Amino acid sequence: MAVRAVRGAVQLERDEAGHMEEQVGALLTAVLERNDLHTDDLISIWFTATPDLHCDFPAAARKLGIADVPLICAQELDIEGAMPRVVRLLAHIESDRPRADINHVYLGAAAALRKDIAQ
């Protein structure tokens, strides 16, 4: 079993706690489903949020039942012209998949962040 990394992002429509919880939950669910993962396969998850998001921590994903996986939040760099209201994740997982078969997930408008990755 190898340690792999999975990237993902979602752009929020508004800075609201319930909306963040819903969108981060959708992102995390998509990462798990597209990579045929279970919560037992998760090692840790880093979340980042752009500086314009203040409503909640993206690690509110705990409400999805992920209780024993280390989660941490950080703020993205404040780059002029960067896409606003974006939550990104970097999940470390255990998987037998080759690195090339890992499916990174960019939902909605965040797909524009990585046009090189087929969605």
Q: What is the CATH number of the domain that holds 68?
A: 3.30.1330.40
pTM: 0.92
- Tell me if 97 is assigned to some domain: yes
**Mean pLDDT computed over 93-98:** 95
pLDDT band at 113 (very low <50, low <70, confident <90, very high): confident
The domain in which residue 86 lies consists of 2-114
- Tell me if 119 is assigned to some domain: no
Task: Give the long-range contacts of residues 20-27, CB within 8 A, separation 24 or more.
Answer: 20/53, 20/55, 20/56, 20/58, 20/60, 20/87, 21/56, 21/60, 21/63, 23/87, 23/107, 24/58, 24/60, 24/61, 24/87, 24/89, 25/61, 25/63, 25/64, 26/107, 27/87, 27/89, 27/105, 27/107
Q: How many domains does the chain have?
A: 1
- Tell me if 58 is assigned to some domain: yes
